[in-house]
Amino acid sequence: MPDYDDKYLRTGGDGIKRCWWGNDHEDYQRYHDEEWGRPVADDFRLFEKICLEGFQSGLSWLVILRKHENFRKAFAGFDFHKVAHFDDRDLARLLQDEGIVRNRGKIEATINNARRALEVVHEFGSLGAYIWQWEPNSPEPHSVKGDYAHPIPSVTKTSQAFSKDLKNRGWKFFGPTTAYAFMQAMGMVNDHMEGCAFRTEVEVLRSKFKRPQKRCV
């Protein structure tokens, strides 16, 4: 059994100290250690993370992790150029696919967002260039009343503005809380706890990471 170091850090059976949630399950541990918080520039991976955060809304993240590969197959590797051309037959296929979350609203939002992603690429040159412009200059405080007992916010001013901008651009299923979870997942912020074995590693990766820049298309 893991030792509880404090409310937000746990030492696993392998002797590694992690954020409290990273030791709860093998799938969480792998995601925490190898993926969460590491900066991403690739457009398809960014779109994938946006979509999966949307599908996770109201569900356990463990459900999404276990269906991850199924989602990739169902949505053409999250190549939004392809997903943008999904039609009613694809929608029917996806609603019958037991390997994913069969929520009509979330599936329709994914197809819609693929089309909106193409518009962003046309304007900014890449999805990454648009997304990384939202990186805050410094850690932000909580922006939700009653959220202050937890050291990591669930919503910030940036996530609110980011979500609002995408909503104005026609994106769906990307509220402020989902936006901040996405920012954490794709490395825009480093929310590995102080004392977590992976915090410094992620921060080094972020310091060396080349942010995508807007370019003319």
Q: What are phi and psi of 103, to 5 degrees?
A: -110, 115
Mean pLDDT, range 149-164, rounded to an integer = 91
Asked if pLDDT for residue 72 goes beyond 60, the answer is: yes
Catalytic residue, chosen from 28, 48, 53, 132, is 53
H helices of 41-175, in order, are 43-56, 61-66, 68-74, 80-83, 88-95, 104-124, 127-132, 157-168
Mean pLDDT, range 60-80, rounded to an integer = 97
Q: Which residues does 31 contact at the CB level (< 8 Å), separation at least 6?
A: 22, 65
Asked if pLDDT for residue 130 goes beyond 60, the answer is: yes
Determine what percent of the chain is predicted with pLDDT higher than 90. Answer: 85
31 part of the active site? yes
In this structure, are residues 128 and 121 in contact, taking their beta carbons and an 8 Å threshold? no
The band of 2, judged by pLDDT with boundaries at 50, 70 and 90, is very low
CATH number of 38-184: 1.10.340.30
- The CA distances from residue 96 to 66, 74, 91, 110, in Å, are 18, 11, 9, 16
pLDDT tens digit sequence for 29-50? 999 999 999 999 999 999 999 9
Q: Is 11 helix (H, G, I), strand (E, B) or coil?
A: strand
In this structure, are residues 111 and 86 in contact, taking their beta carbons and an 8 Å threshold? yes
Query: Which residue type does 17 have?
Result: K
61 part of the active site? yes
Asked if pLDDT for residue 3 goes beyond 90, the answer is: no
Q: What are phi and psi of 109, to 5 degrees?
A: -65, -40
Catalytic residue, chosen from 28, 31, 36, 130, is 31
Higher pLDDT, 58 or 7: 58
Neighbours of 145 (CB within 10 A): 6
Which two three-digit tokens encode residue 79?
């190549």
Asked if pLDDT for residue 205 goes beyond 60, the answer is: yes
Catalytic residue, chosen from 28, 36, 48, 61, is 61
Which two three-digit tokens encode residue 138?
């410094």
Rg from Cα positions in the chain = 18
Mean pLDDT, range 164-186, rounded to an integer = 97
- Give dist(CA 158, CA 129) in Å, integer: 16
The band of 62, judged by pLDDT with boundaries at 50, 70 and 90, is very high
pLDDT, the chain, mean: 93
Query: If you ran DSSP here, which 8-state letter would residue 158 be given?
Result: H
Would residue 187 be called left, alpha or beta, if left means φ above 0 and alpha means ψ between -120 and 50 degrees? left
Check residue 1 and give its pLDDT. Answer: 34
What residue spans define the domains of the chain? Answer: 1-37+191-211, 38-184
Q: Which of 69, 51, 6, 16 is nearest to 198 (CA)?
A: 16
The band of 67, judged by pLDDT with boundaries at 50, 70 and 90, is very high
**H-run or E-run covering 195:** none
